[in-house]
Structure 1
């Protein structure tokens, strides 16, 4: 059974009604969030997993607001992935906030960096876009939104380090083309991604995946606390407050 089907089955068993489990002996499990989200851990465990259809990234340690937004997006159809929709169907906002807070409180495990196979020209291209952007095409530098160390800006912007190159490329493709995971809802990353050429997206993904995340970096940086005013206005459509306001 592939990973996607296993995730859907676990979600069904965890969140289905009592009638489904009538013939299953009761289990004396602790009533904790850690126990409740075991369906999530099947896919989003401590290590990145590559299934037949998609990557399942780590969610531990990501900003609480970001996780809450994504949970709501999957539940409400702004992001499309059937196992996630089944898992979250009918769950209230307050419960999604508790799930987000739980995963945000966990220490994030980072994998070793991927090998850097880019040419010097590709590395320079990636560094330029990541650190300076392209003002003529209205492409902000990655560091403006994701922090100078690319570790994220709390509470809504995730870090970019420690992600697989293929996962980053998949997200670029979904933003550019309104694909399966990102849906059709426009946001600032859709605008930015559509300005990038395929070569630029490949160069950025390869450079990010090749960067190490050291304990010193984690202690020094952590998520920054403030998004620049101009970018906060530009991205206001995706900053969903815990109460549901936009």
Structure 2
């Protein structure tokens, strides 16, 4: 597969209007991303377009590669990155990792208290009867992710979190083996997924929403996307 560098892709896209060319910067080149993910990667009102800003660069880079290689399937993303080089994907990932726009207000909930309590328990304590670790065991005590490649869970819509857990559970979404999220998701019922997704979406971002430092957590599962 022929890959395209960032500058070559930009120049081809704007070759017919040289006098109107935008600056050849990464900020200009990712304007196509802004349509769905916001001008600063903050996400949009569409529940299924997630926040990118501030997530660890390696996580964003891995996801771009997964879209390019078909591990994640969403036709517009698969199309956009098909011919982009590893270096260009890395440049995009680092750009968004270094953006820090404000977080949205937490989402309200229409779930009964018992279901919200179930979601809170999964997020903070897991479910030993199902061999499900707590979300905070991998995503950090503040749920802001962990360097270099574990994403934040704050600032995401409940429908997006639910959809991703469902995709991992069904095998539509894949990560590098061993696929720890698939291992977790197949243990969760529909009710579990709705409960934990809703509870997570209700959590406000902390004042310092930076990912936790690399090596600050001992992961309960082996994950192929994480360095050993």
TM-score, normalised with respect to structure 2: 0.84
1:194 corresponds to 2:186: yes
Matched position secondary structure for 2:155: coil
Counterpart in 1 of 2:66?
Answer: 73
Instruction: Tell me the CA shift for residue 184 of structure 1.
Output: 8.5
Residue deviations 1:121-178, cap 9 Å, x none? Answer: 1122112111111223221110000100111111111111111111111111111112
* Matched residues, number: 216
Separation of aligned partners in 1, 2:56 and 2:171: 24
- Match for residue 43 of structure 1? 36
- In 1, Cα distance between equivalents of 2:16 and 2:111: 56
Matches within 5 A, 1:1-246: 15=9, 18=12, 23-24=16-17, 26-45=19-38, 46-50=42-46, 55-179=48-172, 182-183=173-174, 187-213=179-205, 217-219=206-208, 222-225=210-213, 226=215, 228-231=217-220, 234-235=222-223, 237-239=224-226
Runs of 5+ consecutive residues of structure 1 not aligned to the other structure? 1-13
Structure 1 residues 144 and 230, CA gap change in structure 2 (3 angstroms): closer
- The whole-number CA distance in structure 2 between the counterparts of 1:110 and 1:228 is 24
How far is the alpha carbon of 1:117 from its aligned partner?
A: 2.2
77-86 or 152-161, larger mean C-alpha shift: 77-86
Q: Distance in 1 between matches of 2:195 and 2:121?
A: 11
- Long gaps (5+) in structure 2: 1-7
Shift of 1:23: 4.8
C-alpha displacement of 1:49? 3.7
Cα displacement (A) at 1:28 = 3.2
What is the CA distance between 1:98 and its match in structure 2? Answer: 1.2
Whether the aligned pair in 2 keeps the contact of 1:58 and 1:108 (CA below 8 Å) is no
